[in-house]
Amino acid sequence: MTPSELKHDPDLERRIDPATGEYRVIAPGQTFKSVTEKIVRIVLTPTTPLGWFALFGVGGAVATGLLVAVTWLFLMGVGIWGITQPVAWGFAIINFVWWIGIGHAGTLISAILLLFKQSWRNSINRFAEAMTIFAVVCAGMFPLIHVGRPWLAYWMLPYPNTMTVWPQFRSPLLWDVFAVSTYATISVVFWYIGMVPDFGTMRDRSENKVAQYFYGLVSLGWRGSVRHWARYETASLLLAGLATPLVLSVHTVISFDFAVAVLPGWHTTIFPPYFVAGAIYSGFAMVLTLAIPLRKFYHLEGLVTERHIDNMGKVMLATGFIVAYGYGMEVFMAWYSASHWEAFMMWNRMFGPMGWAYWVLVTCNLAIPLTTLWSRKLRTSIPFMFFISIVVNTGMWFERFVIVVTSLYRDFLPSAWGTYRATKWDYMTYVGTLGLFTALFLLFVRFLPMIPMSEIRTMLPGAKIGPKIGPKITPKPAAKAGD
């Protein structure tokens, strides 16, 4: 699109920032007060929208399904699932990797984009972080319920015990324990510390005693001293700097669960970067899935603009191509390694009894998004981006299905081959976590500030201080002070 074309469209012109030629990060005409009011009113309103109750009812009902499925699992054992030999890692591990991957985009937005000074992220980082935490909640549950005797899951931790046994620190499965628990802890801390100044605003703007008490307590008495802000900014930057290697390490460690095994289809060195890129790809898709209805429902189009949707589309395009490279390399190595087992695995993955899953993955992750996301027109089309986000989320789930199941069910000896069929309890558990995620996210939107007010304020025109600062231009006060 050339600038001359833009001039003829007043609507588009309003949305383009003349300084950069990009879509505006924040719609024009916002002030400190208007932004604060807009975000605070979503939470501090006496009337909750009916739509919220409807959605929360649906999410809660589906989450109840999870409760039922898990209760039955605890009573009966993992035999109610479809897992068997040779596919002992079924839905539980697929869902674990899928959910953790979704969480990674939240950390990427809050940490990596902060380090790169991508200020457009400020509007979306809070709910992307919330998405991370709720995704980790859903993810962390799966390995715990998959161990068979979840009440003994604490055996994974190194602690002195009467059995005098200790964990095996050479196992990637134990590395996972430390990676995922660290990831959950640091994500929660980063999220909470980010909200403290906003809780201060909520405390000061609420008129209701209960809200004042609650937000007063969680704001820790924040009063906005510039000394506090200076330490706060340092701590945020350090947390971002720590979360960046952390997020890369978490999915790397998860890929080690596979790559360290000798199984064809798992035993490959490309897994760490390919898993991390896939995680970010699916995570950005989930951010879009959440952001698009949210901005519409709460009329946040002025804060979460086309620029955000466009930029997220670009990130997805880039990470999508890294994922495509990973798929290509797997196929290439199956041939180039000259390993009979590798070649058979790839043939079986594409054309075996479960070959359809591979083609679903190729369609959803490569064919549809990587051909269309080039177009700026499509990237800024809200319905299309919502559609793409659902497609990519589906595709990335199938990617994990393909990696876990099609590698396991036909390995070296045909006499050891089997198949895998998920049961209704598998589906119920998976769909149940979607309900739990939705319900938690709705609670977040209702009770916590979903857009970081203090960070949005720094991007407003009123925050510009101007170059002419200094005692030079204040001769008048100085002279008066001497009187």
Partner 1 sequence: MPAREGTYGLLAEFDTPGDLIRAAQQARKDGWRRMDCYTPYPVEEAAEAIGFHRNKVPLLTLVGGLIGLSAMFALEVWVSVLAYPLNIGGRPLYSWPAFIVPAYEWTILWAGLSAAFGMLALNGLPALYHPLFNAPNFRDGATTDKFFLCLEALDPKFDLVEAKKYLETFQPLSVVEVAY
Nearer to partner 1, 20 or 474 (CB): 474
Q: How far is residue 332's CA from residue 346's CA, in Å, rounded to a whole number?
A: 10
Is residue 88 within 8 Å of 238, Cβ to Cβ? no
The nearer residue to partner 1, 151 or 169, going by C-beta atoms, is: 169
Give min distance, CB of 212 to partner 1, in A: 10
Omega of the bond leading into 467 within 30 degrees of 0 (cis): no
- Among 170, 167, 185, which Cα is nearest to 246's? 185
Task: Compare residues 212 and 381 and give the one whose CB is closer to partner 1.
Answer: 212
Transcribe 124-172 into DSSP letters: THHHHHHHHHHHHHHHHHHHHHHTS-GGGGGGGS----TT-----TT-H
Q: How far is the CB of 200 from partner 1 (least distance, A)?
A: 5
Q: 16 by DSSP, 3-state: which? A: strand
* Closest C-alpha among 82, 184, 104 to residue 405: 82
Nearer to partner 1, 276 or 364 (CB): 276
Nearer to partner 1, 10 or 470 (CB): 470
Nearest approach in angstroms of CB 195 to partner 1 is 12
CA distances in angstroms from 128 to 58, 107, 110, 139, 217, listed in the order given: 22, 8, 8, 16, 24
Nearest approach in angstroms of CB 178 to partner 1 is 4
Minimum CB–partner distance for residue 290 and partner 1 (Å): 25
d(CA 234, CA 238): 6
Nearer to partner 1, 77 or 461 (CB): 461
Residue 16 — φ and ψ, nearest 5°? -100, 135
Shortest spacing between CB 19 and partner 1, in angstroms: 20
CB under 8 Å to 73, separation ≥6 — which residues? Answer: 80, 81, 145, 425, 429
The least CB distance from residue 252 to partner 1, in Å, is 9
Tell me the C-alpha distance between 402 and 201, whole Å.
48
Q: How far is the CB of 271 from partner 1 (least distance, A)?
A: 15
DSSP symbol at 471: G
CA distance 411 to 264: 7
- Measured from the CB atom, is 399 or 455 closer to partner 1? 455
Between 82 and 273, name the residue whose CB sits nearer to partner 1. 273
Question: Strand, helix or coil at 21?
Answer: coil
